[in-house]
Amino acid sequence: MPFRKTLIASLIAAPLALNGGTALAQHLTHVPNANPKNPGVTSATILSPELAQIVRAQGAMPVENPTDAVNYYGYINNQPNLLPAFGSNVEASKTEPDKNTYLVLHGLRGADPAYDYGAHFLFQGHEAGAGVITRINLDADAAHRVTVLATRDRNGNPLPSFDGSTWYPWAGRLLFTGEFGGAVSGGVWQATLDFPSVVEDISGVIGRGGYEGIQADSDGNLWIAEDVGGSTIAGARLPNSFIYRFVPKNRFDLKQGGRLQALQVMSKANPGKAIAFNPASALTQDVKDLHTYGIVFDTNWVTIHDTDVNGTTPFDANALAKAKLATPFKRPENAMFRPGSGFREFFFDETGDTSATTTAGSDFGGFGGILKLSQSSPSANSGQLMLFYKGDVVHTGFDNVAFWDEHHIVFVEDAGDTLHAQRNALDSGWMFDVRNNYADPSNQPIRIIAQGRDPSATIDSGLQGTSGFQNDGDNEITGIHVSDGDASVGGILGAKRPHAFKDGWRVFYTGQHGDNATYEIVRNREGDRDEDDDRR
C-alpha cells in the first residue's frame, strides 16, 4: 500500500477511547535521596522499586544510514574517537537527543527498502552540535534500530539544534523547536514522517525565539514555551521568556500563517497594569507575587504578529512580546495540558536560575516552579494563572514534563553541572499530584527517578574546564514522554487519560550527555505492589 494511504489508514484506525485508572501512580515508592555528585565516581540510576528501565538506543549505537554529520546515535562526526584516549581530552561531540515523540504507525520506510520497520517509533531532535532528526525503530533489530531522517532542510540548509518536538496530526507533520540562537536562528521546523524526511523552516509564520516545549490543543492551536535566560542583575536572572500561542489560519497547512500571541498576566501590585519586562530588577513585587501560593492572576492573550497584516518574514518573537507588554517568566521550558480537562488546564514549568547562590531564592523564582493556567476553552482570550508549586534548591531546574495519568504529572530536572556540585545532588524526576495543595508543607512530590552518572559522563565531568573540551559533564534527565502512540487528532497529548503500562501506554526518557541513552520505563513486576497487578 502506498505510504500516504497507509498513514491515513493508521490515523483513522487509531483508538479514541479514554483510558482511566491511577493505581500504579498512587503506589509508587519515593526514592529517598538523589545521587550525590562525587568526583570520579559513577553511580547507577535509581527508580521507584515498582519501575525498571530498558535501553532502547544509546549514543554509541551505529545508525543504519551514516551521513556526513553522524555515524552514531549520540555522536557527531567531528573526531575519530568517541571517548578520549589516555591523557587526552579529545572526543567526539555529543548530539544530545532531546524530547521524545512516540507514534504507532504502519508503512513507514527506512534506509533499507526491503526491511519491515514495524509499527512503533520514537522520534527525537538533537540538542547539540549538528542538527539531526532521528527515529528509533522500536520493533527493529540492532542494524536497523536508528534511522537518521534528516540533517538538512528541503533547501539544503543544515538543521539547527532541536529541543522540543510534538506530532501535529491535522497537517501530518512532526514539529521541532530550536532554542539556541533565539531571534537569529531559533524557531519551529516541520518534518514529514517518511524517509528521507522533508523538513521546512516555518519561522516566517511562528517567529524566531528560544522555543522549546511545544504542544497542540484540541482546536489546533500550538502552545510554545520559550527558554531565554535573561541578564543577571544583583545576583538574579531577569525573567526574560514567554508563553506563546499560535492560532493557525489552516490547521491542515501551517505555512498559510496565522496569529502569534503571548500570555499577559495582570499585576496585583499595580492594578490595571500588566506584569511586563523589567530590565532593572528580578526582585520586584510582581515577580514575588507570581511565586506566592494562593494569588490568582487574570490573564489575557495579546497578538504580537499576524501574517495577514505583518507578512511572513521571520521576526523576533521575544522582542515583540516585550513591546506588547506580555509577561516574562523565569525560563519556562516545557508544558502540558491536563488530560480530561478539555484542554482547559495548562501546566508549565520555570527552570529558574540553576544556581544555589541566586539572590532570588524561592520567593522570587530563583529555583523556578510550576504554574497552572486555567481557561474556559483552549481558544479563550482570557483566563487565570496561579502558582502550583514553588521550587527550592532540592526541587529545581524543571525541564521536560509528562502526565502519568489524569492526576499525576512528572517534571524532570536539568539543574546543570554547577548546581549539581553546589547541592551535591544529581538530577531527579518528580511526580506531583495535581489535586494537592503544595502550599501545605505536608504535601511533597515523590522522587521516582534519582539520576545516576554513567562512566562516559563521569569522564566528561572530570574534563570540564580543560582547554578545548566541548562536551557537558553529568547526565541529565530529558524527554520524559507518556503516550499510547495514537497518531489521530483524538490522540494528541492531553486528549486521553493516560494509564502508564496499560492499554498500549508507554513511558520514555533520555539520559542526556555521557552515553546519551534513551530508555523505556517499564513496570518492575518484582517490586510492584499495585493491587491491580495481574499476578494476583
**Per-residue pLDDT tens digits for 9-31:** 344 333 333 333 345 676 899 99
Residues of the chain with pLDDT under 50: 1-22, 531-536
Residue recorded with cell 536572572 = 237
Query: How confident is the model at residue 386, as a pLDDT?
Result: 98
Residue recorded with cell 517499564 = 522
> pTM of the predicted model, to two decimals?
0.93
The CA distances from residue 474 to 59, 142, 302, 453, 519, in Å, are 15, 27, 40, 6, 17
**Per-residue pLDDT tens digits for 28-78:** 999 999 999 999 999 999 999 999 999 999 999 999 999 989 999 999 998
Q: In degrees, to the nearest 5, what angle opens at C-alpha 209 toward C-alphas 203 and 210?
A: 130
CB atoms within 10 A of CB 376: 12
> What value does the mean pLDDT of the chain take?
92
From the list 127, 215, 130, the residue with the least C-alpha distance to 179 is 127
Q: Which amino acid is at 249?
A: K
DSSP-derived secondary structure for 9-66:
HHHHHS--------HHHHTPPPP--PPP--TT--B--EE-TTEEEEEEE-TTSBPSS-
Query: How confident is the model at residue 15, as a pLDDT?
Result: 35
Contacts of 185 by beta carbon, 8 Å cutoff, 6+ apart: 160, 178, 208
**Per-residue pLDDT tens digits for 441-455:** 999 999 999 999 999
